Structure formats: structure tokens, C-alpha cells
Amino acid sequence: MDNQKGVICLLNEKTVGEIVKETARRFPETEAYVYPELGIRKTYKEFDEETDDLAKALIGMGIQKGEHVAIWSDNKREWLLSQYATGKMGAVLVTVNTNYQEKELEYLLQQSDATTLILCESYKGTSYLDIVRAVCKEINVAEKGNIQSQKLPFLKNVIVMGENNYPGMYTWSELMAHADSVSDETLEQHLKVLKNDDVINIQYTSGTTGFPKGVMLTHKNIVNNGQLVGDCIHLSEQDRLCIPVPFFHCFGCVLGTMASVTHGSTMVIIEQFDAAKVLQMVQDEKCTALHGVPTMFIAELNHPDFAKYDLSSLRTGIMAGSICPIEVMKKVMEDMGASEITIAYGQTESSPVITQTRTDDAIEKRVSSVGQAHPGVEVKIIDPITGEDTPSGVPGELCTRGYLVMKGYYKNEEATNAAIDSHGWLHTGDIAVIDEDGYIDITGRIKDMVIRGGENIYPKEVEEFLYQHPAVQDVQVVGVPDPKYGEELMAWIILKDGENLTSEEVKTYCRGKISYHKIPRYIEFTDAYPMTASGKIQKFLLRELSKEKVEA
């Protein structure tokens, strides 16, 4: 079923750099970004000037339009400035997962053909400098700007966010000194030749099935997605958005920074997520909006000092990144006061948001669906076997088409053709149901669906039920092999502080309330789930762990 109902959407044709300049003209004295922990506050006029200077520095260093600049850091100010500086001078920003280790970094730098790497010194006790030296052994004797690596033939520049000197690496000041050799007119020329369908960003998918793939996104992709995301939550220059989600992920750099910049809103930025810091910043900075993946909101709601914080300024925000539990949504609306919180759904390949609830949707739609497609975005649900459209109410694979579809995977035509069909439809791999009004419910990944004795079970349905138990803080359900039924369910439960629960008590709670075949045969209690750096639960690792437990 195609829910496109003739909605006309006038797309924003501006490039990333033009957006910054337009917002700076409209709201010069509005705060663009704030780092409360560092005491940094900059207006949009200053933000425009800072990103001009950095763009000129990159040009002065010899970086050309279309060159690939990798960035590896938590949510530092230099990351934010780099996103918009590259957007002005035309380099392609390649985002690097903060959790990467040696082999992953080596793969990304090789596969992306990055000529430049910008990085912070360390992250959560891991020395990025040591990892770079292990990947690029030549750096210790290299001339700055002229690295000659056997493994990484494209890599020439490594730039450190800071002023400590390291062999073969530029300090931030040394980078910025290159701006002096570039005129305003030269930068203006760079800005003028950019087209909105130029690739401006490469984001590597998490690689849960094989090697990560580089998703190529254009100015048009991310400018319009940021614009539409912000429109859905009515962002304006009056809003202050708290961004604790990582920049390297679309959630941070599109739903967070780009949504803010397209609307003149203030970005209140946290370098690394911490529930207490989020609550403190929302209170102190009087944030009107807050973003987060479900696990972040769960951590905030369950913080022992939650009741002490004044969150009365909160109005809206976005919960996304993984399936959003209904009970958590209700608590965010009621206990945090974010009555206009929305759910967004999508994936990196779609820039990322495909559907979103609206602030004025009926309450049941806002907590139990991922909303409707954005304006100008086509969505259909198909039978993954036959490819035929499914009727409303029948699960199938969600496909989308429109401005939001990526340009493709970098240097991977085979994977691109597998993801985007000949008619331009992006196949998401997600199982969804659409109702008569065009509201969509995501019931899981095709690969997450459990088939028990011929019955299709969607783990989300069982998770939503178990969330209602008063002792349960979080729950994840996966399938495990079974000789009789093919698959059985295993539930991994995190209990609320001070609560106790046995496997048998969980099963008793289920009996008579959900179908027998949906009651998990195996129940495990845990303190945490395997997570990506962006806060997504890695179900494939949970499945592997579950299989080991059953077979032990």
C-alpha cells in the first residue's frame, strides 16, 4: 500500500553552506550553540564566521572539493564546525564511529579513500593517537601534510583537536593558520560551484552483517531531512535543543544540528551522553527540546535524582534510533513534561528519517506508531517474497522513494543495487504495518522475526507487553534455535533498581494475557545490553549470546 496522497513538498535547494549563511542573516544574535560544561556560547553570526575560517583553513591546506575528510571524535566543538566548514568548501565529511578500534579504522580509511583525518586524542580511555600510529606506522617520521603510508595511500593529513604536538600530525592552531592564505573571494567561489546533489557526507553503517558500507548523502538529502524533521516538531529561533546523541550518527548531525541550523534554533551540546548531565542541562539552559534513543530516555527517567530536576521548559524532541517502547513514550510525555515529543523512524540510507509522528497526532497514534511519511516522501509495504504491495494491516517490508534516498554506497555498486531497485525504491529490511490513515508501525527487522512452529512472532509485540510489568526497566526478545519448533523466544530483562523477579513469575505474568506461543521459553536477567556507540542495542550479539546459553 502506498501512502503518498498527492502531498506536494517544495524541497529546499540550498547547500549546507548556504543554509548557514541564510540563518546567520536571519538570526545573527540568536545563540547557535552552547557547550555549558565548557562555558562556550556562540551566536549564529559567530558560527558563520567560525565555519568560514575553518573552510578557508581546509582550502589553504590544499583540500579540494570532493576530497574525503574523516572525523573521529565525540561531540566536540571542532566536530560541529567541521561539518559546516566542509559543507561550505565542498569536501566530503566521512564520519567515524567513536567505538572503532584498529582494524575498523584501517578498513574505513582504506575503503573511504580519506585524504585527511581529524581526531580527538582519546575517547573513554581509548587512545586514538595510539590506534592511528598502529594503523599508519609511517606517521612518526612523516612530514606534516605529506604522510606516505603503504596501507593508506590516500592519507596525507592528520589533524588533532588540540594544541599538543605529535609527530606527523597538525595541531588545531596549525590547521587554522592556513586560513590566512585564503581570501573571502576564494571561499565564495568554492561556495558558488557547489550543487545540492553533490555528495557531502559519507556515513558508515554499523556493519552487523558483513563489512560496514559507506552511505553517500548529498546536500539535498540532509538539508531537507533536517528541515522536515524540525518542521514536524515546530522548531524555531525560540527553541533550545539538547543534543546528547552522537554527531557521527545521522541522529546527531541531521536530526540534531541540521534541524537546528535550518530553523535558527540553539544547540545545547553534550560531548558524551550522561543522564545526569542531560537533566542538568535541560534545567539550566531551559531546553525546550530533547533528543535521544530509547535507552537514553530510560536512563534519564530512572536516574535516582530525576525528581530533583526542573524540566518544565521541555516541550518536544525526538525519540528514535531503535523501536520506541510505548510505556517509555508515555513516561517521557507525562513525567518529563515533553508533551509534544515525537517518534522518528528511518535509516542512514534514507538521510535518515522516513516517517515521524506529529505534535498534534492523537495520543494513541503518537505512542504506538512511528507516524506518517514526511511530505514528499513515498512509502509502500510489500510482501518480501513476492514483491507485491500488501493491504493495510498486513505486515511486509517497508520501502521508500524520494529526495531522501542515498546516492548509493561508496565503491559498492552491488550493495547499492541490492538496496535500491530499478524504480528508485529503497528497501529498508524492516517489517512494518500501515493503517488506513497512513500511520506506520514497525514490528521489527526481517531478520529479527522469529518463526516458531510455523507461527510468525514479532519480538516487539512481546517486548511491549513485558514493558508493562512494574518491575521491568527494559526488555529485549530474540529467537533461539529449537529442535522441535525451529525457534523459541528468549527474553533479556533489566529490572528496575531494588526489584526482584524470577523467570517463573515472568511466565505467570504472561499466561492468559498473550498467546502461549509468544511466552518466552527462556528468560535471562541482565544489567546491560551490547550497544553501538550511538545507543542502539545490538540484537545480533544478543542472539549469539542466547544461542550459546541454550546450547551450553
pLDDT the model gives residue 406: 98
Q: Classify each residue of 209-241 as buried b or exposed e, where b means 16 or more C-beta atoms within 10 Å of its C-beta.
A: eeebbbbbbbbbbbbbbbbbbbbbbbbebebbb
Task: Tell which residue, 501, 476, 473, 504, has the closest CA to residue 490.
Answer: 476
Taking 3-state DSSP, the helix, strand and coil percentages for the chain, each rounded to the nearest 5, stand at 35, 25, 40
Would you say 98 and 121 are in contact if contact means Cβ atoms under 8 Å apart?
no
Q: What is the pLDDT of residues 446-478, one digit of tens each?
A: 888 888 887 778 888 899 999 999 999 999 999
Residue 2 has pLDDT above 50, yes or no: no
Percent of the chain with pLDDT over 90: 84
Of 104-108, 198-202, 490-494, the one with minimum mean pLDDT is: 104-108
Residue 1 has pLDDT above 70, yes or no: no
Residue 43 has pLDDT above 70, yes or no: yes
Q: What are the cell numbers at 179?
A: 586560513
**Where does the pLDDT of residue 483 fall: very low under 50, low under 70, confident under 90, or very high at 90 and above?**
confident
Torsion, CA 494, CA 495, CA 497, CA 500, rounded to 10? -140
Q: What is the pLDDT of residues 139-185, one digit of tens each?
A: 999 999 999 999 999 999 999 999 999 999 999 999 999 999 999 99
Q: What is the pLDDT of residues 101-146, one digit of tens each?
A: 898 899 999 999 999 999 999 999 999 999 999 999 999 999 999 9
Q: Classify each residue of 156-175 as buried b or exposed e, where b means 16 or more C-beta atoms within 10 Å of its C-beta.
A: bbbbbbbeeebebbbbbebb
- Kindly list the structural domains of the chain, giving each domain's residue range(s) and its CATH number in brackets, ordered by start: 16-20+45-204 (3.40.50.12780), 449-551 (3.30.300.30)
pLDDT the model gives residue 206: 64
C-alpha–C-alpha distance, residues 320 and 343, integer Å:
6
Would you say 196 and 207 are in contact if contact means Cβ atoms under 8 Å apart?
no
Residue 374 has pLDDT above 60, yes or no: yes
Is the pTM of the predicted complex or chain greater than 0.75?
yes
For residue 38, is it left (φ>0), alpha (ψ between -120 and 50) or beta?
A: alpha
Q: What is the pLDDT of residues 17-28, one digit of tens each?
A: 999 999 999 999
**Where does the pLDDT of residue 391 fall: very low under 50, low under 70, confident under 90, or very high at 90 and above?**
very high
C-alpha–C-alpha distance, residues 79 and 88, integer Å:
14
Map residue 170 onto helix, strand or coil: strand
C-alpha–C-alpha distance, residues 49 and 154, integer Å:
30
C-alpha–C-alpha distance, residues 205 and 488, integer Å:
29
C-alpha–C-alpha distance, residues 300 and 284, integer Å:
16
Distances (CA, A) of 397 to 35, 139, 213, 380: 41, 47, 21, 8
Q: With 0-12 CB in 10 A as exposed, 13-18 as middle and 19+ as buried, what is 504?
A: exposed
Task: Tell which residue, 409, 420, 418, 481, has the closest CA to residue 452.
Answer: 481
Q: What is the pLDDT of residues 203-242, one digit of tens each?
A: 998 654 467 899 999 999 999 999 999 999 999 999 999 9
Mean pLDDT for 366-376 is 93
Of 69-78, 132-141, 292-301, the one with minimum mean pLDDT is: 292-301
C-alpha–C-alpha distance, residues 188 and 185, integer Å:
5
**Where does the pLDDT of residue 534 fall: very low under 50, low under 70, confident under 90, or very high at 90 and above?**
confident
Residue 40 has pLDDT above 50, yes or no: yes
